[in-house]
Amino acid sequence: MTTSRAYYWMVLPALLLFLVFHTVPVLQGFYYSLTDSPGYGSYGFVGLRNYANLFRDDRILDAYLFTFRFAVVATVLTNALALAVALGLNARIGFRTALRGIFFIPNVLAILIIGYIFNYLFANSLPAIAQALGITALSTNILADPGLAWLGIVAVATWQAAAFNIIIYLAGLQTISDDVREAATIDGAGAWRQFRSIVFPLIAPFFTINMVLSLKNFLQVFDHIVALTNGGPGTATTSVSLLIYSGGLEGGEYAYQTANAVVYFLVIVAVSAFQLRVLQRREMSA
């Protein structure tokens, strides 16, 4: 009896803190989303009006479009590059440990600070190099171009996130025994064929983890944007997270942006669940 009482005491403080700092804010969020609170002072209950307005607001629509376009492209690019680098690291190369160590570096660096460094590179170094080489498309700051700025954010996000995915793919590749690949080579399977029919199916679970985590993280993009464009030029690179932050805290739209956050939460859960299902089904059939 005393044993089980000890177990209750072990979880009770954590449960209380979690209730106070996580569950209560979630419920408060839902509650405020039904009001017209500007974040301070008195407010009234407005039902679902905030939600109805969200769907008519071009700013919100643009933020979702940008966030999805960015997240999908960055997820695909990050995973394609990470898989290619992991395959290279797993092949018969020299200095493997040192190279693996280098590729992982971006994962330990603060995204915000990396963003500031790349901000300077995009604004000054890249145009200087492009002018010297006569590439007119890159001879100006791409972050100042409403049509191209998002690609700069994709580049920095990919640079930083690939580090983590490379390590995961490499761990997956190392679970494949040499015998399997040797047998395939003896059977006359070429490199691409081996990858398609043997290697990729065997690392499919790692692919699933990486795709789901990458997309979930990229959909919440914030630090990169603060450091690179702060949502601009204009509102060309305003992500949903940034809009919730700036509108909710500085724009007097506390209740409205809380409603936006609720919708955003549902979108992220739906996307993750959908992705998990599709990718796991493919794992089965592969």
Partner 1 sequence: MLSRSVNPWLTALMAACAMTVLVPLYFTVVTALKQPAELAGAGFDLPADPQWGNFATAWRLTDYPRAALNSALITVGAVILTLLTNSLVAYAIARNLHRRLFKGLYFYFVSALFVPFPIIMLPVIKQTALLGLDNQLGLILLYVVYGLAFNIFLYVGYIKSIPRALEEAARTDGAGTWTVFWKVIFPLLAPMNATVGILTFLWAWNDFLLPLVVLSSPSARTLPLVQYVFQSQFATDYTTAFASYLMALAPALLVYLLAQRWVISGVLRGAIK
Q: Which of 1, 4, 136, 285 binds partner 1 (CB under 8 A)?
A: 4
Per rule CB under 8 A, is residue 274 in the interface with partner 1? no
> Which residue among 53, 107, 275, 280 contacts partner 1 (CB under 8 A)?
107
Contact flag: residue 88 with partner 1 (CB under 8 A): yes
1 contributes a contact to partner 1 by CB under 8 A: no
53, 139, 272, 280: which one binds partner 1 (CB under 8 A):
272
Choosing from 1, 58, 108, 192, the residue that interacts with partner 1 (CB under 8 A) is 108
Angle between helix axes 149-173 and 58-90 (nearest 10 degrees) is: 40
Residue 125 sits in the site that holds partner 1 (CB under 8 A): yes
Closest CA to 221 of 175, 154, 169: 154
**Angstrom distance (rounded) from CA 245 to CA 262:** 14
Q: How far is CA 130 from CA 87, 121, 123, 227, 253, in A?
A: 31, 12, 12, 23, 42
Q: Please, what is the minimum distance in Å from the beta carbon of residue 56 to partner 1? A: 21
Name the one range near partner 1 by CB under 8 A: 52-60, 107-115, 134-142, 195-203: 107-115
C-beta closer to partner 1: residue 112 or 147: 112
232 belongs to the binding site for partner 1 (CB under 8 A): no
Closest CA to 143 of 225, 43, 88: 225
Q: In terms of residues, how long is the chain?
A: 286
- Tell me if 62 sits within 8 A of 232, measured CB to CB: no
C-beta of 242: minimal distance to partner 1 in Å? 9
Binders of partner 1 in range 159-198 (CB under 8 A): 159, 163-164, 167-168, 171, 185
Angle at 111 between CA 75 and CA 157, to 5 degrees: 20
